[in-house]
Amino acid sequence: MTRLLFVCMGNICRSPIAEGIVRERLRTRGLAAHISTDSAGTHDYHVGRAPDRRAQRLMAGEGIDISDLRARQVDGFDFEFFDHILAMDEGNYAWLRAEAPSAHRDKIQPMLSHAAAPGVDWVPDPYYGGDSGFRRVHSLIDDAANGLIDAIAARPADD
């Protein structure tokens, strides 16, 4: 089983969108039994809360229900447990790299490092904006999700 952790600041916008997109893509590609997903935040602002209503509404419009997700903060166990830790922005990436034991830092990567479309390195935070920001986040993550899943699925089973 390959385990993926998507990380943003508060775990109510970007990382639940990423988890929802990838979870659905894994289901439709028949890979859900081999690759698991979770999400977390670098901060504890929203622990226990459901994803932002705008994120839920956007995802529901895509036929993806993320209402079951609940915000949590990254903890030390995550660095050992997860095989891939995908940061949404530069601040999250830096925080994760600073907190991770050195033996697990290579698991941390920018989510958009898997995107096919060049030119954007980080997923912007849509929290203080409107629906267009959430649509932009969805588009960026949707692109990267394909590359991420393809890269993992292409690895030999013993990796």
pLDDT in tens, 112-149: 999 998 889 999 999 999 999 999 999 999 999 999 99
Neighbours of 106 (CB within 10 A): 9
Residue 113 lies in a domain: yes
Confidence (pTM): 0.96
The answer to whether residue 114 sits within a structural domain is: yes
Instruction: Examine residue 159 and state whether it is found in any structural domain, yes or no.
Output: no
Segments forming the whole domain that contains residue 121: 2-150
Q: Any catalytic annotation for residue 13?
A: no
Residue 50 lies in a domain: yes
Q: Is 125 a catalytic residue?
A: yes
**149 three-state secondary structure:** helix
**Active-site choice (38, 52, 125, 143):** 125
Residue 106 known to be catalytic: no
Please list the helix, strand and coil fractions of the chain in percent, rounded to the nearest 5, in that order. 45, 15, 40
